[in-house]
Amino acid sequence: MLDVKSFQLQSFLPLPYEEVLAPRLKRAHEKLQSGSGAGGEFTGWVHLPRDYDREEFARIQAAASRIRANSQALVVIGIGGSYLGARGVIDCLRSPNYNLKRKDTPNIYFVGNGLSSDAMGEVLDLVADVDFSVNVISKSGTTTEPAVAFRFFRAALEKKYGREGARERIYATTDKARGALKSLADSEGWETFVVPDDVGGRYSVLTAVGLLPIAVAGVDITALMQGAAEMMETCTEASFRCPAWRYAAIRYELYRAGRSIELLACYDPAFRFMAEWWKQLFGESEGKEGKGLFPASVEFTADLHSMGQYIQEGKRLMFETVVRLGPSDRQLTVPADEADGDGLNFLAGKSLDFIRDRAMEGTLLAHTEGGVPNLIVETSGRTPADLGQLIYFFEYACGLSGYLLDVNPFDQPGVEAYKKNMFALLGKPGYEDRRAQLESKLEG
């Protein structure tokens, strides 16, 4: 079972912080469990691992099986929560080099998460000569980046297979009853899956939003959900025996002590996009009303040779949360070298896991002594069940953290500002006055 461990935090935390903070954590916990807090209409994820739609889950598995049978590639179109969770799980459980590996599952390409013509064109080229399918993910169907991308890939499908053939290769994950994408899917006869009304995008990886592409990649989504259900059950306990309570409490107290940045670190490059998902989860949930930790991530040991100097001796703004995934699936040992020209024969016969763990321990000691608090989030291993636990743990801790800060952890009003400016500058009808104002500011 996942655990949260502090590392020599006594000098960084007020004592007895647990006793003082427990009543507030209990109130936050009750709000999550009952959906009675700010944004409570978006807490459907809290009991999702127990209450998810079994019929739709079976349809997801069936669709994934069809895609694996008839496609060499799946193009997943989405942005933010419709992108990062699935990519993080696939990278972590299958490989960050997934598309380069020899395998019996399709390559998976993620688009619609930016506005680069070169990036879009490259994926169009990559799927031009292979059989492919598309999973377009958008609750409204009008979010600019994915909607633009879908136009390109729908046209490519219809050119390649005809309108009838394309119909069997487009899967829309969208609102259950309304919106532009739902209407289009119904009129065209595409199979649809549901973005639940009560689950916001950044909490949606364990819905069809994440589960369809994850299943296409060959990940056991049943085990993923079982792991999440185990953590959900653990998080029902209103006490510091719950790891999400411990994590939320420590990061809140460090924040109150002046630590404004949380660095999420992992010693496995496969975790990179899980860290990107984590950054969206906490950044969108906490960063409002002038409050919230700034979520950043580092990949060790690589970033110890780039960011390590600042972490060790720079301004004391941060603390580190180190994710420890457990033993590697593949164990490699260092070979001996007769000449020992590099002087590393003292490592001969030792596993890379052993060397990595000593590097982690040395870093924990150095950074803590340098004034950077550290805590460890440790999984039992790196199976789908382990990752399901980790996903739910972070989601629950994030909900607790938002309520500790007295903000709504389930809205994102600040995200709309850039969209309004972009629509005006692009000439969208209804934004004429704003466009004139913005162009004047840009010229000035």
Query: Annotated catalytic, 315?
Result: no
Distance CA 346, CA 192 (A): 58
Q: Among the options 419, 420, 432, 439, which is catalytic?
A: 419
Q: Among the options 253, 284, 286, 320, which is catalytic?
A: 284
Query: Annotated catalytic, 291?
Result: no
Contacts of 399 (CB under 8 A, 6+ apart): 28, 32, 43, 46, 285, 409, 410
> Which residues are marked as active site?
284, 419
